[in-house]
């Protein structure tokens, strides 16, 4: 197992008179008829990583099904949807209103690439003035629209190599040959923090970079990225700056994955096993 990295003290020690609002309210815009599990994985990971409150913004028709499988602590916000069971552009007004009560937005896990949904994602990214994490189909919505990023602050992007290639209109092989350089250049160009996922995930902003050494090939499984996104949202909601939140998110995610692999083997582990090991990863890093 990789060398243990100690978490910031502010994450580990809570005042006696603390309340849930002190640890952030996250709105997760996620899920679709085909990918409802992505929303639940992100939400559960966020709760297990210390978030005070988590609300899932989901297509209205999924609400009953998700209530049955989500953690009891997670709230839902049913939103207008398309005929295909994805978030509709008509959801924007309700999202805008609700964000007056939240601290950070995570957008993307399982959203789909439906035209209306992608338009909604771009409008949310462009118009809502909150710290934001853009993942999965949120990233796909930005392809060909990167100018939106130049008008924003406090953004964290979490592409895997394929998503990074789409953003840059290049080939995956090109990204993989120059991962560190590409991550640093992109972060600097758009003044944001980026996690370029993969073997030894890279975290970069305009001034700093970090290469993660935790994790294993067993984490190449459906939902693993959704778990990372939820963990990242939780650390950011608890007040860490973007780069620090991203660095510790990939570290803890990888460490939890290493613990899961020890218990279940790399071959048999699934994303839920990573979530189950988050508390132990945090304890080891305390």
Long-range contacts of 145-154 (CB under 8 A, 24+ apart): 146/190, 148/122, 149/190, 149/192, 150/190, 150/191, 151/126, 152/125, 152/126, 152/192, 153/191, 154/130, 154/242
Q: Which helix (H) or strand (E) holds 167?
A: helix 161-168
What is this structure's pTM? 0.97
CATH number (3.40.720.10, 3.40.1190.20, 3.30.70.270, 3.40.50.150) of 23-284 reads 3.40.1190.20
Query: How does pLDDT run across 59-92, given as a tens digit for each residue?
Result: 999 999 999 999 999 999 999 999 999 999 999 9
Q: Of 142, 135, 144, 39, nearest to 85 (Cα)?
A: 39
Instruction: Please indicate whether residue 152 or residue 42 has the higher confidence score (pLDDT).
Output: 42
Look up residue 118 and give its two tokens.
Answer: 């992608």
Q: Is the pLDDT of residue 1 over 70?
A: no
Residue with tokens 């990295």: 5
In contact, 215 and 253? CB cutoff 8 Å: yes
What is the reported pLDDT for 3? Answer: 76
In contact, 156 and 195? CB cutoff 8 Å: yes
- Residue range 107-111: average pLDDT? 98
Look up residue 215 and give its two tokens.
Answer: 């994790």
Look up residue 97 and give its two tokens.
Answer: 């209103």
Query: How does pLDDT run across 166-184, given as a tens digit for each residue?
Result: 999 999 999 999 999 999 9
- In DSSP notation, 201-254 reads -EEE-SS-EEE-----GGG-STTHHHHHHHHHHHHHHTT--HHHHHHHHHHHHH
- Residue range 229-237: average pLDDT? 98
Query: How does pLDDT run across 192-224, given as a tens digit for each residue?
Result: 999 999 999 999 999 999 999 999 999 999 999
List beta partners, residue 87: 81
Query: How does pLDDT run across 40-54, given as a tens digit for each residue?
Result: 999 999 999 999 999
What is the reported pLDDT for 2? Answer: 67
CA distance 179 to 269: 27
How sure is the predictor about 270, in pLDDT bands with cuts at 50, 70 and 90?
very high
- Residue range 95-120: average pLDDT? 97
What average pLDDT does the structure give for the chain?
Answer: 96
Largest CA distance in the chain: 52
């Amino acid at each position: 197992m990789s060398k243990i990295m100690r978490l910031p003290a502010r994450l580990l020690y809570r005042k006696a008179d603390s309340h849930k609002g002190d640890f952030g309210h996250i709105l997760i815009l996620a899920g679709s008829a085909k990918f409802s599990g992505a929303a639940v994985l992100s939400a559960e990971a966020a709760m297990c990583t210390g978030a005070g409150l988590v609300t899932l913004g989901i297509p209205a028709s999924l609400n009953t099904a998700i209530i049955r499988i989500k953690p009891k602590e997670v709230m839902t916000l049913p939103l207008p949807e398309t005929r295909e069971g994805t978030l509709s552009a008509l959801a924007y007004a309700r999202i805008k209103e609700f964000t007056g009560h939240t601290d950070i937005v995570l957008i993307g896990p399982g959203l789909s690439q439906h035209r209306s949904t992608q338009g909604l994602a771009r409008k949310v990214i462009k118009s809502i003035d909150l710290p934001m994490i853009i993942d999965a189909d949120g990233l796909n919505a930005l392809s060909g629209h990167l100018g939106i990023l130049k008008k924003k602050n406090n953004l964290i992007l979490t592409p895997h190599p394929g998503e990074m290639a789409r953003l840059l209109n290049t080939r995956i092989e090109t990204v993989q040959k120059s991962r560190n350089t590409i991550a640093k250049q992109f972060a600097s160009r758009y003044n944001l923090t980026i996690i370029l996922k993969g073997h030894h995930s890279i975290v970069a902003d305009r001034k700093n970079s970090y290469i993660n050494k935790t994790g294993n090939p067993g984490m190449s499984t459906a939902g693993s990225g959704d778990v990372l996104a939820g963990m990242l949202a939780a650390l950011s909601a608890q007040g860490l700056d973007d780069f620090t939140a991203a660095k510790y998110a990939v570290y803890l995610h990888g460490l939890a994955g290493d613990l899961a692999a020890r218990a279940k083997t790399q071959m048999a582990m699934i994303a839920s096993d990573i979530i189950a090991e988050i508390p132990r990863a945090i304890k080891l890093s305390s």
